[in-house]
Amino acid sequence: MTLQLAGWLCLMMAALAACTMPVTPAPSAPAQTDATAPAQANATAPVPASRREVTIWAPYAGELEIATLAANGDLIQEVNFFWYELVEGGRITGGVNSKAALDKARELGLRILPSIVNRGFNREAVLAAIGAPEVRQAHIAAIVDLVVTNGYDGIDIDYESLAAEDRETFTRFIEELALALHAIDKQLSIAVHAKTDDAGAWNGPAAQDWPRLGAAVDRFKIMTYDYHYSTSEAGPIAPVAWINDVLAYAATVVSPAKTYMGVHFYGYEWVGASGAGIEWRQAVRTAMQNDATIRRDESGEAWFTYDDGRFTVYFADAENLRVKLAAIAAAHPDLAGIAIWRLGGEDPENWEAIRKWTER
C-alpha cells in the first residue's frame, strides 16, 4: 500500500462509513424546470468556462494520434485513454499502453482521465464489481489506487448495457466513487447512453439515473451517436433533431455546465442490417474507388451507396460537424462542451471546425 493510498483510507473512513450503512434508496429527482438546480445542490459542479471544452476518447495512441494531440493541444482540455477494462469477476485489467502519449498529454497540460469500460459491455462483469456493498467498496478502492499510483487527474467510467433493475446499484456506485475521488481532489467523468426521457428506449439508458448521476460527477458525457448502428438498418448516425431532443431533456435534470455532447468521427458501411465501422479516410476512398456520389441528409451527414445500392455508407466529416456544432450552439448555448469518439482516422478539417466553435 502506498503512503498516498494509506492517507486516502484514513481520510475516507468516516465518509465512506455512511455509504455502507443501510439507507432507504433516494428517489430519482423530478425533472427540473430550472436547469441550474442540480448544480446548486452539488458543490462539485464546475463553473461555466469562458470557452467551450473539448474532451476526447482515445482508443488508439500511435504516432499519428500523438501528432494530432500535439497539433490541437490548445483546443483539447481532457483525454480519456481507453487503457482499462472491467472483466469477468469484476477485475480491472490494463495499464499505460503508450508512455509517449501519456507524456505528450502531460506536456500539453491536458486533464488525464483514462476510461474503464466493461469488456464486451458485459453486464455480469459490472455486477461482480459493484453488486454488493463489500465488493463495491473494494472496486472503488481499486480505482482510487489506480488513479493515485499513476498520477491521473481522475477516471472516466464507461459501463454500458446494464439492465433497468441495476439502476440503484449503479447509481450508488457512481455516487460513492465520486465521494472517494473528490476527497483526494480527483475528478470523475461518465459516459451515458442517449435518451429523451427518464425511461429511455431500452435497458441501457433505463439503468442510468441522470439526475443523481449528473449531480455526482464532474463531467456528464452523453453518447449522442449510434441513432443508427451496426445491427440496425442503414441511416444517419447522429441526426441533429434527435441530438437536440436528447440535450433538451438533459437540461431538465443535469446542469448544462457539466453536460457534454458526444460527437462521432466515424461512419458505418451497411449491407442490409449489418454494418461495419468505417473511418472518414476509408469512406472517402471507397466513394472514389466506386465512383459514388456523396450526398447530404438534412443534418449535413454524408452518405452514399455503391454496387447497385447493395452497400450504404454514412460517415462524419468537417461539413457535417460544422452544421451540427452551429445548430447545437444556437439551441444549447450553455452546454459545457463536446466529447469526441474517437481519436484516429478523422477528417483533419474537423479540428478547424472545432476551433471556430470553441470561440464563444
Give the architecture (CATH level 2) of 50-265+317-358: Alpha-Beta Barrel (3.20)
C-alpha cell at 83: 487503457
Mapped onto helix, strand or coil, the DSSP state of residue 24 is coil
- Mean pLDDT for 136-147 is 98
The pTM score is 0.87
Per-residue pLDDT at 277 exceeds 60: yes
**How far are the Cα atoms of 270, 304, 337, 340 from residue 54, in angstroms, in the given order?**
30, 29, 6, 8
Higher pLDDT, 43 or 199: 199
Return the percentage of the chain with pLDDT > 90, whole number.
85
Checking if the pLDDT of 203 tops 90, the result is yes
**Which of the pair, 341 or 1, is modelled with greater confidence?**
341
Q: How far apart are CA 141 and CA 312, in angstroms?
A: 47
Q: What is the mean pLDDT of the chain?
A: 89
Kind of pairing, strands 266-271 and 311-315?
A: antiparallel
In the chain, domain spans? 50-265+317-358
Summarize pLDDT for 237-272 with one digit per residue, the tens: 999 999 999 999 999 999 999 999 999 999 999 999
Using CA atoms, how far apart are residues 33 and 36, in angstroms rounded to an integer?
9
Look at residues 150, 206, 212 and name the one whose alpha carbon lies nearest to residue 177: 212
What pLDDT sits at residue 262? 98
The residue type of 147 is V
Confidence band for 18, pLDDT divided at 50, 70 and 90: very low
pLDDT value at residue 51: 83
C-alpha cell of residue 35: 436547469
Task: Give pLDDT, residue 50.
Answer: 55
Lowest mean pLDDT among 50-59, 127-136, 201-210, 236-245: 50-59
Element (H, E) at 19: helix 3-20
% of the chain exceeding 70 in pLDDT: 86
SS3 70: helix
CA–CA separation, 48 and 269 (whole Å): 38
Grid coordinates belonging to 30: 423530478
Q: Is the peptide bond before 342 cis (omega within 30 degrees of 0)?
A: yes
Contact, 339 vs 261, CB < 8 A? Answer: yes
Question: CA 184, CA 179: separation in Å to the nearest integer?
Answer: 9
Nearest to 190 by CA among 162, 167, 217, 153: 217
Rama region for 116: left / alpha / beta (φ>0; ψ in -120 to 50; rest): beta
Write out pLDDT tens, residues 281-329.
999 999 999 999 999 999 999 999 999 999 999 999 999 999 999 999 9
pLDDT (average), residues 88-112: 98
User: What is the amino acid identity at position 308?
Assistant: D
In terms of C-beta density within 10 A (0-12 exposed, 13-18 middle, 19 or more buried), how is residue 327 classed? middle
- Distance set, CA 199 to CA 24, 164, 202 (Å): 22, 9, 8
Three-class SS state of 35: coil
186: nearest Cα among 215, 150, 210, 213: 150
The pLDDT tens digits of the residues spanning 41-85 come to 333 444 344 589 999 999 999 999 999 999 999 999 999 999 999
